[in-house]
Homo-oligomer: A and B are copies of this chain.
Amino acid sequence: MTDGILTPDQILTAAQDVLRRYGPAKATVVDVARALGVSHGSVYRHFPSKAALREAVTQRWLDESHTLLTAVMAADGPADVRLRAWLSALFAAKRKKALGDPELFATYTVLVGEASQVIERHIADLVGQLQQIITTGLAKGELVTSDPAATARAVFDATIRFHDPVHAADWDQPGIEDAFDTLCTLIWLGLSPR
């Protein structure tokens, strides 16, 4: 492969393969360069350090759940429908990652543990989307809150069992869908006008 056509996304894909193959403790930038057939200098041209590369690959993995969420954000509709669709999309995306490829999920769990700023930004993004749904619903009189930002965080916290990877072991347990539905209903009742 010539360096001319090397894109950041190709590097991230190769880095993910290398991380999966060698594990987060052993994977190096040289391994990534070798997998791409380029010099490690070519990798460093896009990512200035091993830490930067690991953060970027973690960021991309976290953002994968955003595709579904972006679709929900783009769609119109009543706040209760949008809120539940958003929470369901997040749960579905996280669950798919955890149960669909447990080995890669375990790898990323290690990486996420190292990348506190990346995860903080990820959570801030997600809470921001919730806040947008809440603010739109508030303007339309579909829900009530005196503090949309704090309420968005409370909704995020309230559903943590259904999106935080530390709870992944629960996600294929019987009754988990019902538990999620009951919780979503309780949250909506907490927001809706009386």
Interface residue count for A (Cβ, 8 Å)?
A: 26
Q: A150 within 8 Å of B by Cβ?
A: yes
**Identical chains in the assembly:** 2
Q: Is the CB of A154 within 8 A of B182?
A: yes
Binds B, one of A55-63, A66-74, A100-108, A185-193: A185-193
Q: Determine, out of A29-37, A90-98, A155-163, the stretch whose residues face the partner at the interface.
A: A155-163
Main secondary structure of the interface of A (DSSP, over half): helix
Q: Mark A173-194, 1 if CB is under 8 A from B, else 0.
A: 0000011001101111111001
Given pairs A153-B182, A186-B190, 11 additional interface contacts (CB within 8 A): A151-B186, A154-B182, A154-B183, A160-B160, A160-B161, A164-B167, A166-B167, A186-B187, A186-B191, A190-B190, A194-B194
